[in-house]
Chains A and B, each alone.
Chain A
Amino acid sequence: MSAPARTPAGAPGSLTGPGSSGGVGTDAARPDGTLKVRGEFAYGSDLWMEDMLWGTTLRSPHPYARIRSIDVGPALAVPGVRAVLTSDDVPGAKVYGLELADQPVLAVDVVRYQGEPVALVAADHPETARLAAARIVVDYEVWEPVTDARTALGHPRWNQVHDGTAQVTELSRESAHLHPEGNLVRHLKVRRGDPAPTADVVVVGEYEVGMQDQAFLGPESGLAVPAEDGGVELYVATQWLHVDQRQICAALGLAPEQVRLTLAGVGGAFGGREDLSMHVHACLLALRTGRPVKMSYNREESFFGHVHRHPATMRYEHGATRDGDLVYVRAAIYFDGGAYASSTPAVVGNGGTMGIGPYVVPNVHVDCFGAYTNNPPCGAMRGFGSVQTAFAYESQMDALAAELGMDPVELRCRNAMEQGSEAITGQVVDSPAPVVELLRRLEAMPLPEPAPDDLRHRPGGVSNTTHGEGVRRGVGYAVAYKNVGFSEGFDDYSTARVRLEVVGGEPTVTVHTAAAEVGQGLVTVEQQIARTELGVDRVVVAPKDTAVGSAGSTSASRQTYVTGGAVKAACEAVRARVLERAAGVTGRPAAQLRLFDGAVVGEGLELPLAEVLGDDAVEETLEWRHRPTEAIDPETGQGFAHVQYAFSAHRAVVDVDTELGLIKVVEMACTQDVGKAINPQAVVGQIQGGTAQGLGLAVMEEILIRDGRVQNPSFTDYLIPTILDMPPMRIEILEYADPHAPYGLRGVGEAPNISSGPAVLAAIRAATGLPLTRVPVRPEHITGV
């Protein structure tokens, strides 16, 4: 095996796009589109340098074990191997983490989940590296894993619906601590109104949501290049360059100036790239060998290499009057955080503070727990804590409607939040909350025709499993709300640098931010905002890197809001300076001038920017923050926790083969309030993609874990929706401006991922008459065998 040789594939460059144009509110073309369809866009896995080595990771086969010893000798003896590293070779902090630093860079004495990184190898050829890693001898003392969140916390397990609400009792005993502080990551309480309310009608339900994977197609990958100053350059597919940089610096014991990150092309993220994967590992190997090191996971390793969506078990009790007014909700929500904290505290925050859905309820008692177990670590995934609870609260609304003999949409509308309502945190909803309109618009949409007599339209499709007998149709509704941006007092800001100059006679804007483009189209949005604010068509998006300040994470549906806000503010600052200059030239007050079509214009005046600017560039860099939120009260969960909410609703129509348990989703309809659609085509794309991921969780997607071990780490066994599984969609977008947000916009990406799955589940229940309290729904849940 010799080293691969080929022409280098460069690091990502600036993006301009094919002379596209279009400001805010248009379907402007993506500046990276042409590169992507030509196969020239450099994803992390495409990076290549002369002389580079390939890194690989040895991972623990056990969910819980003590490491007695590691012998790297046999690996070092393999020809072509350049370095083998263990935790002893980590020069700085041995542990890292987004919120709590508790996760080892490489296992230190104990492994707490199957797949935990134990050692690293760099070699000339990836196969050599893999072979060598397999020769490392690790002696494990295997321990019994803790695999259930309630057991980990010593809380009673529920066996049936009428067990009491979970309580921490004197008698219950936590499992042996996986971490020194115990197995509780966070317990969030919401207490509101009467602590012992009673109601005419009560429904109780227990629900379970399986572990979902982000399943982005582009594997975790990047290239680390040692630098002459003793530092390192890292090109990596990630979601938040600066939070990576902070953690990498700590692990390497280097200063921020010495660890420079540039975003490589990202093949989807969905939360799964918020935590570190190969980042520190590649840097360690590069610094040790003095050569560029590339790491790129294969699909199996990817399943072990990033956090997943928290599985949840939930018990809800809803009380209502006979007329259908909600009186109280009690909920106990358990998130299995797996072996390390990742973003579990924030997931618990979202799950708890929005855990009853967009409804107004006077009396609320919520306990939301995040626990450590020996399952794979769980953290961010699109919908972040709200996806799980939505399955429970929307199932409860349907159960309550059935108990009351009411139409489920009617019951929702009767209790829906609106502008001016108080959320369960006591926070007043101070921008439009058109929950009723979202539902009514769905109801008004025509229903699809009965399935044509064509087996491709039946459950089972061309497998030819049914001729239509036993097939029942069902319709279900669900509604979602989700916080946008980081909450609970987090200093949530973004930085933008905007430069206006004349290049080759053409006015040109350069926008530089560190905000990760992961496929959603933020680079397009940045261009659109600059065009609108500066009246200049040609906008260059500089490579995303740490040479400019933090943009915060590409998560929580926040980048268009926060980085969009920063770009807008920086453009405004540039504009003010340019107009000041123009005022000096023309003698007109700046207030009477504006920028339009590459010129300064005013009453009877059109002065090309080239004449105003000459050879000068006007540049402004600034940080922009949304209005502050605050921490919630630890005993009552009350406080101004969230800056904005996103609302969406879905109607699902399904056909179910009740004999075989096969499901065909016939149509998905979605309504969403986006405040202002900055790029309508991209907004629709987010709704369609989010809908697909929610549908996937409802009917097929689950990482199966047995005794802490992943059973299906491949696309053969972990199924995501294909084009055959996705039905046609009807989408209506509402634009009720949020007065607090730039252009009135609302974050878009997550809400549709939250309401789609519960709507599908409701439709399956409607078709089958079965209670169905667990997702994904499997054929045996329907057939009962």
Chain B
Amino acid sequence: MRLTCTVNGSAQQVDDVWEGESLLYVLRERMGLPGSKNACEQGECGSCTVYLDGVPVCSCLVAAGQAEGRAIGTVEGMGSEETLHPVQQAFLDAGAVQCGFCTPGLLVATDDLVTRSLAAGAPPADAEIREALAGNLCRCTGYEKILDAVKLAAQRMAAPTTGAPR
């Protein structure tokens, strides 16, 4: 089957997709976007988290066909070579990246959480962060520095003027 969708803002079309392939598989193996990870492929770890029409989903649980005509956002679409996204920078600064296999999924989940929280008027509280990220497993860090990173990102995203002058 043919799949047409938008990934990180650019139109993508791939042919010969087999019905059983997941969105994760298509991103990784057919579109050359292996940033989203495949730690379980059963919806249990969150390492494959991507935006689907602006909502974070486990891409391993989304059949490729379900992505037809929709907009997908992956870690490759965050920030740029020169300027990292504030969430990416916060994960580095807080020391929240060890092996990094959980990181792409956590970055998407964190971006979603922080953006929603700030839109609602306040950075996320610890308990909210824990609840929002409970579906993202990390085996290396014990999560303390991930919590720090989310708070740091929220702080920086709430006060963007501390970044580059605009």
Are B92 and A30 touching (Cβ within 8 A)?
yes
Can you name the residue of chain A whose Cβ is closest to the Cβ of B150? A723
- Does chain A have a CB within 8 A of B11? no
- Does chain B have a CB within 8 A of A270? yes
Against A, the Cβ 8 Å flags (1 = close, 0 = not) of B124-138 are 000101110111111
- Does chain A have a CB within 8 A of B123? no
A267 to B99, CA, bound (A): 5
Q: Which residues of A contact B144 (CB under 8 A)?
A: 688, 726, 728-729
A714 to B43, CA, bound (A): 11
Which bracket fits the contact residues of B? 35 or more
Most chain A Cβ neighbours within 10 Å, of B28, B39, B99, B103: B99
Are A684 and B139 touching (Cβ within 8 A)?
no
- Does chain A have a CB within 8 A of B38? yes
- Does chain B have a CB within 8 A of A454? yes
Can you name the residue of chain B whose Cβ is closest to the Cβ of A214? B139
Are A39 and B34 touching (Cβ within 8 A)?
yes
Are A299 and B139 touching (Cβ within 8 A)?
no
The residue that A27 contacts in the complex, of B74, B95, B141, with Cβ under 8 A, is B95
A42 to B100, CA, bound (A): 11
Nearest Cβ distance between residue A375 and chain B, in whole angstroms? 23
Q: Which residues of A contact B34 (CB under 8 A)?
A: 9, 39, 42-43, 45-46, 48
Interface of B is mostly: loop
Which bracket fits the contact residues of A? 35 or more
The residue that B35 contacts in the complex, of A27, A38, A267, A684, with Cβ under 8 A, is A38
Are B142 and A299 touching (Cβ within 8 A)?
no
Q: Which of B111-166 contact A (CB under 8 A)?
A: 127, 129-131, 133-147
Nearest Cβ distance between residue B18 and chain A, in whole angstroms? 5
The residue that B143 contacts in the complex, of A4, A39, A45, A692, with Cβ under 8 A, is A692
Nearest Cβ distance between residue A541 and chain B, in whole angstroms? 15
Q: Which of A67-112 contact B (CB under 8 A)?
A: none
Are B98 and A716 touching (Cβ within 8 A)?
no
A66 to B118, CA, bound (A): 63
Are A37 and B97 touching (Cβ within 8 A)?
yes
Nearest Cβ distance between residue A688 and chain B, in whole angstroms? 3
Q: Which of B3-55 contact A (CB under 8 A)?
A: 16, 18, 20, 28-42, 44-45, 47
A265 to B92, CA, bound (A): 18
Are A267 and B101 touching (Cβ within 8 A)?
yes
- Does chain A have a CB within 8 A of B104? yes
Q: Which residues of B contact A521 (CB under 8 A)?
A: 98
Are A6 and B140 touching (Cβ within 8 A)?
no
Q: Which residues of B contact A685 (CB under 8 A)?
A: 95, 98, 140-142, 145
- Does chain B have a CB within 8 A of A428? no
The residue that B134 contacts in the complex, of A218, A715, A723, with Cβ under 8 A, is A723
- Does chain A have a CB within 8 A of B59? no
Against A, the Cβ 8 Å flags (1 = close, 0 = not) of B74-111 are 11101101001000110110010111111110010000
Most chain A Cβ neighbours within 10 Å, of B37, B97, B101: B101
Given contacts A39-B36, A268-B140, contact A217 B29 (CB under 8 A): no
Are A684 and B99 touching (Cβ within 8 A)?
no
Contact residues of A with B, CB < 8 Å? 1-2, 4-7, 9, 27, 29-30, 32-34, 36-43, 45-46, 48, 125, 127, 214-219, 265-268, 270, 296, 298-299, 454, 456-457, 462, 518-521, 681-682, 684-685, 688-693, 714-716, 720-724, 726, 728-729
6 closest Cβ contacts across the A-B interface? A39-B35, A519-B99, A267-B101, A36-B100, A688-B142, A692-B142
A selection of 28 A-B contacts at a CB cut-off of 8 Å is: A9-B32, A32-B100, A37-B84, A37-B100, A37-B107, A45-B34, A45-B38, A48-B34, A125-B18, A217-B101, A265-B100, A267-B37, A267-B100, A267-B101, A268-B101, A268-B140, A519-B98, A520-B98, A685-B98, A685-B140, A685-B142, A714-B42, A715-B44, A715-B45, A720-B137, A723-B134, A723-B147, A726-B144
